[in-house]
Structure 1
Amino acid sequence: MQFGIFSIGDVTPDPLTGRAPTEHERIKAMTTIAVKAEEAGLDVFATGEHHNPPFVPSSPTTMLAWIAARTERLILSTSTTLITTNDPVKIAEDFAMLQHLADGRVDLMMGRGNTPAVYPWFGQDLRKGLELAVENYALLHRLWREENVDWKGRFRAPLQGFTSTPRPLDGVPPFVWHGSIRSPEVAEQAAYYGDGFFANNLFAPIAHFAGLVDLYRERWAHHGHGTPEQAMVGLGGQVFLRPKSQDAVREFRPYFDRAPVYGGGPSLEQFTERTPLTVGSPDEAIEKTLTFRDAYGDYQRQLFVVDHAGLPLKTVLEQIDILGEEVVPVLRKEMASSRPPAVPPGPRHPATVTTTA
């Protein structure tokens, strides 16, 4: 079981001070958070990809390469790579290069993003989003596994005898997750290729995503990759932790109330009841996270958002310490004790197994 941090890289004013970090401060804070995650014993750091304010991570591979040079064990991932508006050839090249630089500690999550305007910015049509995702990933999948690729599709120039360079490290492509919040077609795509499915279930009821995960598991088995229980599932969530629950609620409430994605909707109490958001003590975070298996079955990766909504860097680093010292060790032990032997561990490149096992 892998545990880690993912960041959407928002630049949001601190509601207590009214001050927003500069882009430079936010970018450097994200890299500090990643290094801290490794120091705290976590397994994964993932960054989103956005091309519009108020977000900063427009070049995930650049950021992850910087982090790779300052870590030794951490798996470096995206919490969305835009398969619809990025050229599959460039994705193949960039992530293979990063894979070599990081000695295999790389995977990525394919998604369509949540900013409709990004499509015309990159010369694409929002109405073709699913078709772009299917066609572009089909090409990317081949580019990592074949040399001298001939290709003709609807959305990019044809290729004749094209070889993407560098080739994947030791001939093993980065592991791919497919992230979705609503599309069964994405669950089917992940199942067809034998890839992972990531339910980025931050803002919707847990039951909403259970159906997508069930579909993915069923189709994964249908396509001959193994039993439904052996499919690779990842989950997202957000936590805010303090030793006492009432302190966590009091401290986090102003951030929740003014957060771009939370504010103006259901209350903090309603959100924590209906979604994976945990605001409370370490014991409450452990208890709630363990219930995710009831909805999704045994899974391979759990990522937490800890730096959203203008939270100060000092507070974020404290959250990572609490996760690393008090929450994740218990979750590892509890989940390992009841995990069926046939359920595989989280994905790793073979080059990393001897150094990270």
Structure 2
Amino acid sequence: MQFGVFTVSDITTDPTTGRTPSEASRIDAVVTIAKKVEEVGLDVFALGEHHNPPFFSSSPTTTLAYIAAQTEKLLLSTATTLITTNDPVKIAEDYAMLQHLSKGRVDLMMGRGNTGPVYPWFGKDIRAGIPLAIENYALLHKLWREDVVDWKGRFRTPLQGFTSTPRPLDGVPPFVWHGSIRSPEIAEQAAFYGDGFFHNHIFWPKEHTQRMVELYRSRFAHYGHGDPDQAIVGLGGQVFIRKNSQDAVKEFRPYFDNAPVYGHGPSLEDFSRETPLTVGSPQQIIDRTLGFRDYVGDYQRQMFLIDHAGLPLKTVLEQLDILGEEVVPVLRKEFAALKPAHVPDAPTHASLVAKAGGEKDATVYAAADDVTGQVRDEAPAAL
């Protein structure tokens, strides 16, 4: 089981102080959080993609590459890569480059985002959200697996004889998760390709999450990728932890009550009862998280949101200390003891390379230069 932290990159006023961080301070804070994730022994850090205030993360690859240069083991991912409004060609190039720079420590999660106006900002129609997600990913999948691509679709200009560069590291594309809260078409898409399915698991009751994961598992088996319980599942979740539950609830309440996403609605108690949000002691977090397996089965990745709603950096780092020292070690042990041997671990670059038969040089040594038109008689000699 992989454990990690994801951020949506919000810039939110701290309701207890009235202070709103600057973009610069939030960007610095997220880098600090990512480095702390590795320090406390967690596995994954994921960053969302947004193109509007109050979020700063318009270029996840830039941020993740910077973090990769300052970490050694941390797996870097996205909490959303907008497959609908980004050009699949640019996604293929950017994330292959990040894969090389991080020495394989990268995967990514495809999603449609939660901001409707982003579609026209990038020349797209929100009414075509699902067809865009399906067609664009089909092209991305092809770009990473075929050296020369011919393509014609509904939503972008055709490609003829196109090679995306750099080619994936060791000839193996980054692993892809498809993230969705409510769209069965995305669960179907993940199953079709044998990719991972990630359910955000924050805003909806467990029955909804259970239905979405069961759909993905059944379709994963339908397409011949393995038994339903061998499908690759990830869950999100939000926690706030203190030594005792009373202190946790008291401290977190003003942040919950004023949160841009779920504030000014159901009470903290109601929301915690009806959704996976868990505010309490380390043991309460452990018990609640272990309970997720009861309705989604054995799964491969658990991500926590801990920096939302204006929480100050100091508090977030304290949350990470508790996760790393008191919560995740117990969860690792308990989940490992429960997992059957035939259920796979979360994919990594190393495991994908081994499955593909080992490393290979995927470089395309082109026969001509598009600028000069000069043709090489043979590939350049190795240096």
Note the alpha carbon deviations across 1:337-356, whole angstroms, 9 max, x for none.
Answer: 111001111110018999xx
SS at match of 2:236: strand
* Residues 103 and 352, structure 1, Cα contact 8 Å, conserved in 2: no
Q: Distance in 2 between matches of 1:176 and 1:352?
A: 12
AA of the residue aligned to 1:168: P
Residue matched to 2:138: 138
1:223-302 superposed matches below 5 A: 223-302=223-302
Cα offset, 1:203, TM superposition: 1.1
- Does 1:173 find its partner at 2:168? no
1:1-357 superposed matches below 5 A: 1-350=1-350
Q: Distance in 2 between matches of 1:170 and 1:303?
A: 27
Q: Distance in 2 between matches of 1:176 and 1:48?
A: 15
Q: Distance in 1 between matches of 2:46 and 2:210?
A: 23
Q: Distance in 2 between matches of 1:235 and 1:276?
A: 10
Counting matched residue pairs gives 354
Cα offset, 1:168, TM superposition: 0.4
Q: Distance in 1 between matches of 2:293 and 2:271?
A: 19
Q: Distance in 2 between matches of 1:290 and 1:136?
A: 36
Cα offset, 1:284, TM superposition: 0.1
* Residues 105 and 352, structure 1, Cα contact 8 Å, conserved in 2: no
Cα offset, 1:201, TM superposition: 1.3
Query: Per the alignment, do residues 67 and 89 of structure 1 end up closer, same or farther by CA in structure 2, a change over 3 Å counting?
Result: same
Q: Distance in 1 between matches of 2:258 and 2:264?
A: 8
Q: Distance in 1 between matches of 2:34 and 2:122?
A: 29
Q: Percent identity?
A: 73
Q: Distance in 1 between matches of 2:135 and 2:243?
A: 48
Q: Distance in 2 between matches of 1:100 and 1:264?
A: 44
Note the alpha carbon deviations across 1:234-276, whole angstroms, 9 max, x for none.
Answer: 0000010000110000000000000001111111001111111
Q: Distance in 2 between matches of 1:259 and 1:154?
A: 39
SS at match of 1:85: coil
Q: Distance in 1 between matches of 2:343 and 2:253?
A: 38
SS at match of 1:35: helix
Note the alpha carbon deviations across 1:192-217, whole angstroms, 9 max, x for none.
Answer: 00000000011111211110100000
Q: Distance in 2 between matches of 1:41 and 1:172?
A: 26
Q: Distance in 1 between matches of 2:324 and 2:274?
A: 25
* Residues 77 and 106, structure 1, Cα contact 8 Å, conserved in 2: yes
Q: Distance in 2 between matches of 1:138 and 1:200?
A: 23
User: After TM superposition, which residue ranges in structure 1, 4 or more long, deviate above 6 angstroms?
Assistant: 351-354
Q: Distance in 2 between matches of 1:139 and 1:202?
A: 30
Q: Distance in 2 between matches of 1:332 and 1:353?
A: 25
* Residues 48 and 81, structure 2, Cα contact 8 Å, conserved in 1: yes
SS at match of 1:237: coil
SS at match of 1:303: strand
- Give the TM-score taking structure 1 as reference length: 0.98
* Residues 204 and 274, structure 1, Cα contact 8 Å, conserved in 2: yes
* Residues 241 and 248, structure 2, Cα contact 8 Å, conserved in 1: yes
* Residues 80 and 111, structure 1, Cα contact 8 Å, conserved in 2: yes
Query: Per the alignment, do residues 353 and 96 of structure 1 end up closer, same or farther by CA in structure 2, a change over 3 Å counting?
Result: closer
- Give the TM-score taking structure 2 as reference length: 0.91
Gaps of 5+ in 2: 355-383
SS at match of 1:302: strand
Q: Distance in 2 between matches of 1:22 and 1:351?
A: 40
Query: Per the alignment, do residues 265 and 245 of structure 1 end up closer, same or farther by CA in structure 2, a change over 3 Å counting?
Result: same
SS at match of 2:182: coil
AA of the residue aligned to 1:185: E
Q: Distance in 2 between matches of 1:147 and 1:58?
A: 29
Q: Distance in 2 between matches of 1:353 and 1:35?
A: 26
Note the alpha carbon deviations across 1:25-72, whole angstroms, 9 max, x for none.
Answer: 001101100000000000000000000100011100000000000000
Q: Distance in 2 between matches of 1:258 and 1:31?
A: 25
Query: Per the alignment, do residues 291 and 315 of structure 1 end up closer, same or farther by CA in structure 2, a change over 3 Å counting?
Result: same
